[in-house]
Structure 1
Amino acid sequence: MGSNNEKPRILSIQNLIIKFKLRGQVLTAIRNISLDLYKGESLAIVGESGSGKSVLVKSIMGLLDKNGFIDQGQILYKDYDLAQFNTEKDWLRIRGKEIAMVTQDPMTSLNPLKTVGKQIEECVVLHQGLKGKEAYERTLKLLRDVGIGDVEKRYKQYPHEFSGGMRQRIVIAIAVACNPKILICDEPTTALDVTIQAQILQLLKNLQEMYGLTTIYITHDLGVVAKVADRIAVMYAGDIIEIGKTHEVFFDGKHPYTWALLSSLPQLGSKGEELYSIKGTPPNLFNEIKGDAFAPRNPYALNIDFVERPPFFKVTETHFAKTWLLHADAPKVVPPQSLQAFFEEGRRYAHE
């Protein structure tokens, strides 16, 4: 969903349903999602914790927990339907060399007993077929590419000798060393302070251009992705409820949940007032959800929102939202006051 005519499609998720068996019950974590990813783009998937973002990307990597399974749908990549893969041997053709992942906690991704140089070099040998001096030189280049200085010395050091931001750079170098076509970044800056966050995001943006990567960012923070994403998909309760180019979602968002996420941005707060927070809690995914999952928390909900799930309504060729407010017969509803000035400013900026 969400057309992008300029670039070829590299991955297509169609009608995907993912379930988990927990204590004799079945939880539906992904509720019939369709999503296309285009070559060379940067797509951000945003939503609150528990919205299904990480489950979605783990299904692309074959990393679902043992109690999770794909109940329906396809994940099409090249000539493969990844939803049909069920052995580790199948996934080894894809994981790393085609699709790689950067996680939010670098310490769980790195081996504390091996030097960082050796950990990167293993990937270079395995995925790029280089050996000896060539593999070593390639490893040093990767260290430089991710912004690490004094590379010969750093090659010989262990993870504990690096700061959190530097460790995240090493994890990124390992992912890029696999020569993937798609790089998934799952909350890559959550554990880092704000100044380091900005550096890591800029680094990922630079690497995307340098290596011709297609990137997927997973985050709960809309503000983080504004500078790096070409498109944004907003997730809620296991469903994509809005998708569009970054400026469309940011400055012309249509779903009340998107409005709520934007209203939570610190820069929209007023001095001396509490920051906005979304009232209520997400639905229980053990239960069947009727209508729009956000309806019980939505101050703009219509009666139909509690009865029938909305389809995607087309806003532009690249912008779609699942909200009955876009139906021709719906009453006219405007975004919250705090967002109207933000939208206006953004539209002005986009036209300059």
Structure 2
Amino acid sequence: MGGHITVLGAGSWGTAFAKVMADAGREVVLWARRRDVSESITSTRENAEYLPGVRLPAPLRSTSDPRRALDGAHTVVLAVPSQSLRHNLTSWRSLIADDATLVSLAKGVELGTLKRMSEVIADVTGFAEDRIAVVSGPNLAKEIAEEQPTATVIACRDHDRAVALQRACTTGYFRPYTITDVVGCELGGACKNVIALSCGMADGLGFGANTLATLITRGLAETSRLGAALGADPLTFAGLAGLGDLVATCSSPLSRNRTFGARLGRGETMAQARSAAAGQVAEGVKSCSSIRELALRHGVEMPITEVVHRVCHDGFHPREMAGALLGRQTKPERER
């Protein structure tokens, strides 16, 4: 894939993904909302606020001017939080070339509309679904920026477009796979944030490996149920965009959602946990509500998501989580 690639959003994951593509030999422009961030990247080759100590390669340029960033871009990577994607993309739409490929790094379900991120992109831009791709998997930004070996999934209905994107971000430390199941890829990425919140709460409460494994496994089960209801390929949830992303996000202290949940489990209020996050967005705090509503709309039972929503939005205390989950009616592990 030739031409210049623009990444809109210079947070930790946007910066790390921009670095990956620059390391793959692509010309990359990284847009930062704040001018001081873009100027710092240009002068020091480092995003000190989000990825301190990580040297950014020369092919990566930065600007805070969206017009400059998007001028001539053949591929536009959207790396802003899921709940602000629509607002941001609306302001950028007129600057994006009509023949561009759009790539979403955001993981969530939009509040109100209950749309997945690719649906939001299509809604705002009018682009056909086969020109919109999503990236998901066990993608902890700091580890990728440090060039620790990892893999990811690029999902697009147009397989050839997914392959072109795959070539644009393959490096010696970053291995992308392709699939055409956009629905499964996006639901795996969105739901894992909610399950990670529950795992963090359990850790904050002092629970151990059995509880963590139970939440991960049953979280995967409820994600798969929702995916089946929305037409996803069940095998997607056994892969990198499902199990892989879930394990990484639920287990690592680098996970913002797990860390946020742990603060709640230790007794912090929502306000205290947000303050401690220092501007880093725990996507699952908002997405738990939209995913819950999506599940209710389709008649899908998602008990972990329900409990996380109650903790984050209804004043439910994390210590009541175990009782709410274990007190449910017993049943077979797999429904017949």
TM-score (norm 1): 0.27
Structure ranking higher on relative contact order (CA contacts 8 Å, 6+ apart) = 1
TM-score (norm 2): 0.28
Instruction: From the CA coordinates, give the structure whose radius of gyration is larger.
Output: 1
Larger helix fraction of residues: 2
